[in-house]
Chains A and B, each alone.
Chain A
């Protein structure tokens, strides 16, 4: 009986810990930069928002992003409604089987897009469940520029151009990334310490 309770406790600990993995960031919509429409000069546009709606597009590569699938990322409104995302298939970048960067767009009502207090939020993590879809390369229609926005997340400085903000985020948020490789030395040191201790023990036993 006690063993059963003990194991139940352990299992609860597992699943409790596993469920903790979720991140959230505020989302803001900015005017679309020129580079969004460069592809339209070479190929026919294939993406434009319907009348009365605004399309928000951008690259999401927060340093904390590490999810197993595109359905682990969601955009939510203040009242908790989930907005489906259209993820550009070729933009999904994996590292060790986990998505660390991707480009996507989503549609919101024009009223909501212009409301500074709209409360849009981006959530990602293993306990997030969304119904997102994949699309081929997105070529935005310059004719619909007034209804296209760039999304921005987190606390980036809004004063500069959107391009610069998007490019800067990884550097600002992950300033200690240059030292992560040192962590691998820890298990190596443990292995060699164990080997040395065991070798000495073998030698002592032999004498």
Chain B
């Protein structure tokens, strides 16, 4: 089937470009502000996309241009452009019903792709329980399914379904959803030495690590999850890689250093485009670490424990702790090109990915995926100083406490979310409030997992987006005043408060 679809996929390759995703959201936002007729807007939109396709084909015609473009291509962009954006922006009329044919088709293609991959497995090797599916079809099929079921569910239920699905794909996908039978066999070979698979980054292989591209999400899908996880990892893994690049070798124009730098920069562009297009929504909807943390929060609620609302100094302390820890770890990653034969820098042994050694995700995600036997183990004291072991234990305790005693206290410290948070004001999502309809009842502040009070207290500015907001939309969902709170994307209203007791 892949051979049959390949010519179509080649022609549609510009759709996988993160640059097109950026252009399209900007075009939508710009066109919404024009006093033009709907027809003129549609024409201008088609023209913009057409010009991008033409320029893309022209640049792709040169080898260097083709590689430059390819590093910024990702199946996430194609799914975002053809499934997520129309689902958010199309008015719910006959055109939306017509659009739904596309997700149905994508689900069908994903199913056929799975069957096709399974049929290619040698007869005597069938009978395993893993699903073989190429990442592009898995992402398309899963997203299309979510778009199809969304009208049938309440917002709270839909959010749980999305988070559960992302947890399964990002934490369990490394060993449950391999992209081909060869990939599955390679995974089995790696699993013969589970300790090696967990601990040695160079030996793990995320499902989406192929053809030199790296796929990162602005959340915490840990790279150390069993079998390497589904995507390459979180944005801190990417920035650590960037820090590890030997700039001296780049200056000497060493092809391997330049190749590594190009691949990371390509992934960074994709990451920034998605931060710009979605802000911190990944924290509220995708991040497996916060989903696992919310399970702890669920226990707190069931046990009847009161939740602690951190005061402003505590919030600031968490923020600066996160910035400080992230900076120290990134500075250590910079030592990588200068390690001696024993892996030491200035007499101290430094791990390959210093931040990963102190991140709770490296402890939590593997256990969630493979049970206690997959526990990664704390760093030992032989690092030369106890920073990693002590920091890891402290942050693990803070993570558990952050969700048991409070709600998402951890997410204030998380450096992954901080980067995406920069795009909350100025990015494409905007949490808007009609102050004329607000009675400052405080429900929005009560349900907010980040304990943001600004949505309640702000009565002059229509834009109530803030750095901390994870765009979970609980405030919009629970607001008792119809059309008081709304979430907008590129100028279009995606959801608004409609009180449901």
Chain A positions within 8 Å of B, measured between CB atoms, are: 3, 6-7, 10, 13-14, 17-18, 20-21, 63-66, 68, 94-98, 100, 126, 174, 177-178, 180-181, 183-185, 187-188, 190-192, 194-196, 198-199, 202, 205-206
| Alpha-carbon distance A121/B160, docked complex (angstroms) | 60
Most central of A10, A65, A196 by chain B CB within 10 Å? A10
Q: Given the known A-B contacts A3-B43, A184-B266, are A98 and B57 also in contact in the complex, defined by CB atoms under 8 Å?
A: no
Return chain B residues, CB-CB under 8 Å to A190: 22
Most central of B6, B54, B63, B425 by chain A CB within 10 Å? B63
Return chain B residues, CB-CB under 8 Å to A66: 63, 66-67
* 17 additional A-B residue pairs with CB within 8 Å, beyond A17-B58, A178-B258: A14-B54, A17-B54, A64-B62, A66-B67, A96-B212, A96-B213, A97-B211, A180-B64, A181-B261, A184-B262, A184-B269, A187-B19, A188-B269, A194-B26, A195-B276, A202-B426, A206-B461
| Alpha-carbon distance A63/B67, docked complex (angstroms) | 11
Residue in contact with A187 in the complex, picked from B11, B57, B63, B269, CB distance below 8 Å: B269
Is B71's CB under 8 angstroms from A18's CB? no
Q: Given the known A-B contacts A13-B50, A96-B67, are A187 and B425 also in contact in the complex, defined by CB atoms under 8 Å?
A: no
Return chain B residues, CB-CB under 8 Å to A199: 425-426
Chain B positions within 8 Å of A, measured between CB atoms, are: 6, 10-11, 19, 22, 26, 43, 46-47, 50, 53-54, 57-58, 60-64, 66-68, 70-73, 211-213, 250, 253, 255, 258, 261-262, 265-266, 268-269, 272-273, 276, 422-423, 425-427, 460-463
Return chain A residues, CB-CB under 8 Å to B43: 3, 6
Q: Given the known A-B contacts A96-B211, A187-B72, A206-B461, are A181 and B54 also in contact in the complex, defined by CB atoms under 8 Å?
A: no
Is A14's CB under 8 angstroms from B53's CB? yes
| Alpha-carbon distance A18/B462, docked complex (angstroms) | 46
Return chain A residues, CB-CB under 8 Å to B273: 187, 191
Residue in contact with B258 in the complex, picked from A13, A64, A180, CB distance below 8 Å: A180
Is A184's CB under 8 angstroms from B70's CB? no
Return chain A residues, CB-CB under 8 Å to B46: 7, 10
| Alpha-carbon distance A65/B67, docked complex (angstroms) | 11
Mostly, the A contact residues are: helix
| Alpha-carbon distance A95/B69, docked complex (angstroms) | 12
Most central of B61, B72, B268 by chain A CB within 10 Å? B61
Return chain B residues, CB-CB under 8 Å to A3: 43
Chain A min CB distance to B19 (Å): 6
| Alpha-carbon distance A177/B213, docked complex (angstroms) | 19
Is B10's CB under 8 angstroms from A68's CB? yes
Return chain B residues, CB-CB under 8 Å to A180: 64, 67-68, 258, 262
| Alpha-carbon distance A107/B345, docked complex (angstroms) | 56
Is B426's CB under 8 angstroms from A10's CB? no
Q: Can you show 12 pairs from A to B with CB atoms below 8 A apart?
A: A14-B50, A17-B54, A65-B63, A68-B10, A98-B70, A174-B64, A177-B255, A180-B68, A183-B68, A184-B268, A187-B72, A191-B272
